[in-house]
């Protein structure tokens, strides 16, 4: 069994909980209040800025030019492609850079991104890949879920742009690249090392669930 398959099996029970989360269900049927999505967009924009830094740590850790280019391309995909959908919604909401800069990161968001960055500093390329995969792979699965169970969501007048981003071939290709690099970087990993990667993915996946909670509750009482 590939290491990525083990990570998938470890995280899948957590990821499947996302499908029934009220925030995801609200996007699925188009009933999510815009104010909740607005809050999410601001926090997720801040998240992506930190997420891109984890890819940058991959550039620093890489010893092969091909790996450096791959991490560099994933930074571009995050900042230019995935972030583009955020910018379009932020503009719709009239949210300026000053508003974003003056809005603090929620506790969950800051804790999650700090955890990923700490993994990037302490671990190697495989650990970086594991930390990044929880977000990318789970969003891909959410896209699959929406496309299969709520096909009309891809045509919703407000949420279609978001749904179509995470069902796009470009996003899927980037996620496949991350899965492949995880398997390549773990080629000679021991059982103990693989179990450590499983722990990283599980922790990041739980953070992802808390992120949906944070977005749904608009940052209130997440840890109460």
At 108-124, the pLDDT tens digits run: 999 999 999 999 999 99
Give the alpha-carbon dihedral of 62, 207, 11, 16, to 10 degrees: -140
Q: Which helix (H) or strand (E) holds 85?
A: helix 83-92
Write the pLDDT tens digit of every residue in 177-190: 999 999 999 999 99
Q: One of 82, 106, 127, 208 is an active-site residue; which one?
A: 208
- pLDDT-derived band of residue 222, with 50, 70 and 90 as boundaries? very low
Active site residue 135: yes
Buried b (16+ CB within 10 A) or exposed e, 47-72: bbebbbbbbbbbeebbeeeebeebbe
In the prediction, which pLDDT does 220 show?
A: 62
In the prediction, which pLDDT does 129 show?
A: 96
In the prediction, which pLDDT does 224 show?
A: 37
Q: One of 106, 127, 135, 204 is an active-site residue; which one?
A: 135
Residue whose C-alpha is closest to residue 37's, from 20, 51, 22, 23:
23
Q: Are 120 and 65 in contact (CB under 8 A)?
A: no
Active site residue 204: no
Cα atoms found within 13 Å of the Cα of residue 170, Cβ hemisphere only: 10
Write the pLDDT tens digit of every residue in 65-94: 999 999 999 999 899 888 888 899 999 999
In the prediction, which pLDDT does 223 show?
A: 40
In the prediction, which pLDDT does 219 show?
A: 64
């Amino acid at each position: 069994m590939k290491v990525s398959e083990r990570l998938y099996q470890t995280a899948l029970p957590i990821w499947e909980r996302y499908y029934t989360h009220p925030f995801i269900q609200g996007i699925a049927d188009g009933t999510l209040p815009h104010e909740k999505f607005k809050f999410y967009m601001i926090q997720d924009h801040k998240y992506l800025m930190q997420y891109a830094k984890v890819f940058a740590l991959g550039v620093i850790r890489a010893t092969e030019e091909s790996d450096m280019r791959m991490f560099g391309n994933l930074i571009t995909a995050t900042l230019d492609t995935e972030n583009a959908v955020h910018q379009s919604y932020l503009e719709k909401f009239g949210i300026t850079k000053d508003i974003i800069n003056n809005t603090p990161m929620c506790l969950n968001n800051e804790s999650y991104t700090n955890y990923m960055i700490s993994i990037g500093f302490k671990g190697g390329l495989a650990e970086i890949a594991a930390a990044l995969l929880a977000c990318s792979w789970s969003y891909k699965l959410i896209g699959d879920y929406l496309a299969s169970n709520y096909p009309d969501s891809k045509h919703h007048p407000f949420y279609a742009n978001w749904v179509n981003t995470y069902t796009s071939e470009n996003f899927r290709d980037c996620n496949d690249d991350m899965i492949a690099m995880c398997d390549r970087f773990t080629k000679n990993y021991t059982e103990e090392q693989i179990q450590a990667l499983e722990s990283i993915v599980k922790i990041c996946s739980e953070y992802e669930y808390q992120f949906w909670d944070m977005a749904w509750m608009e940052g209130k009482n997440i840890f109460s």
